[in-house]
Amino acid sequence: MNFLYHMVPDRIVGKELVTLEMIRQHDELYVHHTRKYKGREHVMSHKIPPLNCTANQVLNFTAIHPKKVDRALKEAGFAEGLLKRKWFKINPKLLNPDMAAVFLYRRDLPIEDAGNYKGYEIRELNSYNTLSKETIQYYKEKRTQGIRPLLFHLVPHILYKGTLKISDLEVIRI
């Protein structure tokens, strides 16, 4: 069975994995979790047509096991530890398909174009669980430039307009 993955946040309020929009009222927490968007804040307001919302109103998951990403980062020359964290390993059946979509990360279409999205179907997760040559090349370029890469650049994202109970999620370490 294929699983979905999400880094365990280092600061969690409550008993659910929630969207950035849902923590907006917790100023310090919101600032902490949005710092990864510094210089690219516009990403949080991108529209997601199939879910009729913006990017800060969804949870982001990957179908790629974190060990694959870690291996590719090491091969690109990054020191160990870039991904040494805990991850939620999520049964894909926990997501309501009507509240989920796949962002394909097609470079030939604008991010907000409906053609850049596909419906969420568990049986198709296998087609999203490998890193592309373009992502691996991106890691190498960032290493050469001495810049920390975006870990899931050019990787399809599974987007979910909802919350998940943390108690329902398995935690793994890599």
Cβ distance 169 to 17 under 8 Å? yes
- Of 9-23, 25-39, 141-155, the poorest mean pLDDT is in 25-39
* Average pLDDT score over the chain: 88
Cβ neighbours of residue 114 closer than 8 Å, sequence gap 6 or more: 49, 50
Count: domains in the chain: 1
Max CA separation in the chain (angstroms): 42
Give the pLDDT band (50/70/90) at residue 46.
confident
Structure confidence at residue 126 (pLDDT)? 96
Q: Would the pLDDT of 33 be above 60? A: no
Expressed as residue numbers, the domain containing 71 is 4-173
Structure confidence at residue 42 (pLDDT)? 66
Of 54, 53, 11, nearest to 36 (Cα)?
A: 11
Cα 87 to Cα 117: distance, rounded to the nearest angstrom:
25
| Global confidence as pTM | 0.90
